[in-house]
Structure formats: C-alpha cells, structure tokens
Amino acid sequence: MSKPLTFGSLFAGIGGFDLGFERAGMVCKWQVEIDDYANRVLRKHWPDVRRWSDVRTWPQPDTERVDIICGGFPCQDISYAGRGAGLEGERSGLFFEAVRVVRELRPKAVVLENVAALLTRGLDTVLGTLAEIGYDAEWHCIPAAAVGAPHIRDRVFVLGWNTNSINDHSLKKRDQKNTITRGIGSGCDTANSPVLADATRGGLQRSHKPASSATSTRKNRQLQPARGSSGIGGWWATEPDVGRVADGVPRRVDRLRGLGNAVVPQVAEYVGRMVAERLGQ
C-alpha cells in the first residue's frame, strides 16, 4: 500500500480544508494561522500537528516538506463587499506570501480557495504567478450546494500542478469525471457540470460515500450521514436542531467569524479526492 499523501495548511482558520483533506485520506503535517481563537480550535482537534502563527515568516529551516499545500487566502480585498483593492490589498495580498512558501517547498500540488469575486478581481494574476514558479493551474467555482448544503456559498478553487512532478499525460487528462475545468471563464456557472449538484435532489449527481471511521485518522471528527441517508448529500440536515440558549452562545462572534471564513469540509474532501486521484493515490 502506498503511503498517504501529506499536506500543509496555510490560512488554516478553524480547519475546514484540513478536515476535508483528512477525509480524503491525507495527513496534515503543519498549519499556519494567525487568529488566536482559530488556533484554539486547531489545537483542540489537531493537538499533534505543528502550528505557526505568521505566514510571512514561514517556512522555518526545519519545516517538513509535503505533497500538497492548501489554503484559503484572505478575501477581504477581493470580495465585492470590500473596497476592491484586490491582490494589491494588505490582506488579500498575502496570496504572494503563499506563493513564496510554495516556491520554497515545491509541493507536487497547491490548492487555493477564495470567494467567487476572484474570477474578476485577480484570477489572471493568480494563474500567471503560479505559472511563473512552475505550476500549471486550473480552476472552477464550486458552491457548498454542490455537496448538498442548504446554502449557496460560491467559492473558487485553484489547483496548481508542479510540472516537474506530474507527467504530461496526467496534466492533459480531461474527462467527464473531472470537475475542475481549465478556462471556465467568469462567473460561477455550475449548471452544466455533470458531477455537481442537482438542485432538485440536494446532493451530488455522482457522489463518494463518506469515509468510514476506520479510515479516518481522527474518529471523533468524522461527520456521520444524516438519518436515513447516505453519501455526501446526506451529510446535511435542512433544518438543524438549534435549541434555546438562555445566556447566549459562548464566543459567538469568534465562532461566526470562524465559520464565515472556513472552507466547507465536504467541498474540501471532494477536491481532495480529485487531487489524490491525479497524483496517483
């Protein structure tokens, strides 16, 4: 049996990417996150994983090299709700720090995530910059609704392949199973994708079954299917049980911010499985 793929997580937040990639069979080796509350969440669920607080001073001389680097870099300057500074902004400009880390560690693949506005506010720069450091990139907008969530949450995923690590045949492979499609253009048009959500069914048209607890590296974080259902579409409850809280929700603002910034784990798993397949795992 081949060794599992390893990954490092930039802008880890509360661990959405990390949880999804673990469910796809990968192993997290390090996380980089500056927010104090998010780091408390990461310490609770990944107690044995090395963490660093500032992407601008990562990697360190003893940083472990990984197969994949993932990260949802800040969206504040890219989002249409912001001032539109784009990748020139102080926060979204941390994309270039992520590129520096990738250039130094040279993983087989890099997976980046951001809001849908990236398609018109910097995707050309993202692709060009990755190409400059030797990564052939492709992208697609995948909403959370594509994995059965009761909300849209459009997000762009950019996959960059190290041209020295992936053979030409694999890079050029394009078939109906591949959701990530080069040249998608502007907007988040997923209606014609054969593997994304059917709105009338609330799940994937072709879905993977959730990883069993036997294959999960951390059983206590395995998300179980909803009652009487199976597959990715069954992970969501359209009306989740939320009881009354007399004294409020502890650290409510921190929790909401963490959830708002997080990558949806089910989408991350779906992307992670495609990355693993491309890398021959």
pLDDT tens for residues 53-83? 999 999 999 999 999 999 999 999 999 988 8
Asked if the structure places residue 54 within a domain, the reply is yes
The pTM for the full model equals 0.76
Omega within 30 of 0 (cis) for the link into 59: yes
**Of residues 235 and 96, more confidently modeled:** 96
Task: Return the H-helix or E-strand segment holding 246.
Answer: none
Q: What is the pLDDT of residues 113-171, one digit of tens each?
A: 999 999 999 999 999 999 999 999 999 999 999 999 988 999 999 999 998 876 544 54
Region of 11 (left: φ > 0; alpha: ψ -120 to 50; beta: rest) is left
What range defines the domain where residue 165 resides?
Answer: 6-278
Whether 198 contacts 205, CB under 8 Å = yes
Asked if the structure places residue 184 within a domain, the reply is yes
**Of residues 40 and 173, more confidently modeled:** 40
Asked if the structure places residue 1 within a domain, the reply is no
Task: Return the H-helix or E-strand segment holding 44.
Answer: helix 36-45
Structural domains of the chain, count: 1
Dihedral, 204, 209, 215, 219 alpha carbons, nearest 10:
80
Asked if the structure places residue 129 within a domain, the reply is yes
Residue 253 in tokens: 């603002």
Asked if the structure places residue 186 within a domain, the reply is yes
**Residues with active-site annotation:** 75
Q: Whole-angstrom Cα distance, residue 57 to residue 82?
A: 27
Asked if the structure places residue 185 within a domain, the reply is yes
Asked if the structure places residue 233 within a domain, the reply is yes
**Of residues 77 and 258, more confidently modeled:** 77
CATH of the domain at 224: 3.40.50.150
pLDDT of residue 261: 87
pLDDT of residue 166: 64
